[in-house]
């Protein structure tokens, strides 16, 4: 197995996790990962040894996902329930955490730009710079989307607003 194939193979679990969070469907996530892998392998000659393969793969996935959403919006006139029934998800696991369901619901209500940044930075642990590279936006845009997304999640989940830290020296009484 070539070095490239080994590097790609190690990223599949992360790709699946991100795709699942983006699409909110296991079947659609698997399709997205498969298409990402096909594109990556067919364009392997474009990857430069020594660069971040993870960022490269996530960029491919992100771009394909954006194209799919745009195409679906353009083609969306009427939907045949039989066509989409396999992609509908029913959550019936009684052991699921209520907080996780609330988080998933709240994430689904965020604007896509904020959700993507939260998933890349929060779920995947990417640096702001890598997330900016994947999304083809400036680092400052990643920071602002992340901040707005976190604030929106707090509101949607009924959590208190971000607590501003004060200078600990201000609350220390002076000795007499």
Q: Does residue 101 sit in the same domain as residue 69?
A: no
Is 99 a residue whose pLDDT tops 80? no
Q: Is the pLDDT of residue 29 over 60?
A: yes
* CATH code for position 36: 1.10.1740.10
Mean pLDDT calculated for residue range 107-134: 90
| Residues 145 and 117: beta-carbon distance below 8 Å | yes
Please give the Cα distance from 11 to 55 (Å, whole number): 10
Q: What is the pLDDT of residue 104?
A: 81
Distance CA 40, CA 35 (A): 8
Q: What is the CATH number of the domain that holds 117?
A: 1.10.10.10
Within a domain: 171: no
Question: Domain total for the chain?
Answer: 2
Q: Is residue 128 part of a domain?
A: yes
pLDDT of residue 92: 53
pLDDT value for 97:
60
Average pLDDT of span 136-159:
91
Q: How far apart are CA 157 and CA 104, in angstroms?
A: 10
**pLDDT value at position 82?**
54
Which of 27, 49, 76 finishes a domain? 76
Percent of the chain with pLDDT over 70: 77
Please provide the DSSP assignment of 13-57 as one string.
HHHHHHHHHHHS-HHHHHHHHHHHHHHHHHTGGGSPTTS-HHHHH
pLDDT at 66: 85
- Lowest-confidence pick of 4-13, 14-23, 91-100: 91-100
Question: Is 152 found in the same domain as 102?
Answer: yes
Nearest to 141 by CA among 107, 108, 110, 113: 113
Span 104-121, average pLDDT:
89
Q: Note whether 15 and 57 are within 8 A (CB).
A: yes
Per-residue confidence (pLDDT) for residue 124, from 0 to 100? 85
Q: 10 Å Cβ neighbour count for 70?
A: 10
Q: Of residues 172 and 21, which shows the higher confidence score?
A: 21
- Over residues 44-80, the pLDDT tens digits come to 999 888 889 999 999 999 989 888 887 877 765 444 5
Is residue 2 within 8 A of residue 48, CB to CB? The reply is no
């Amino acid at each position: 197995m070539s070095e490239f194939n080994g590097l790609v193979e190690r990223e599949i679990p992360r790709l699946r996790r991100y795709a699942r969070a983006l699409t909110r469907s296991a079947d659609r996530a698997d399709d997205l990962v498969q298409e990402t892998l096909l594109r990556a392998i067919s364009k392997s000659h474009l990857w430069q040894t020594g660069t971040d393969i993870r960022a490269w793969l996530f960029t491919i996935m992100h771009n394909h996902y954006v194209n799919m959403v745009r195409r679906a919006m353009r083609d969306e006139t009427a939907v045949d329930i039989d066509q989409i029934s396999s992609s509908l998800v029913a959550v019936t696991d009684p052991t699921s955490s209520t907080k996780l369901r609330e988080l998933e619901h709240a994430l689904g209500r965020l604007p896509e730009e904020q959700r993507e940044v939260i998933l890349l930075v929060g779920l995947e642990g990417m640096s702001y710079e890598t997330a900016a590279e994947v999304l083809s936006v400036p680092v400052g845009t990643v920071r602002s989307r992340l901040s707005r997304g976190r604030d929106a999640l707090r509101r949607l989940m009924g959590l208190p607003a971000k607590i501003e830290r004060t200078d600990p020296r201000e609350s220390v009484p002076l000795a007499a």
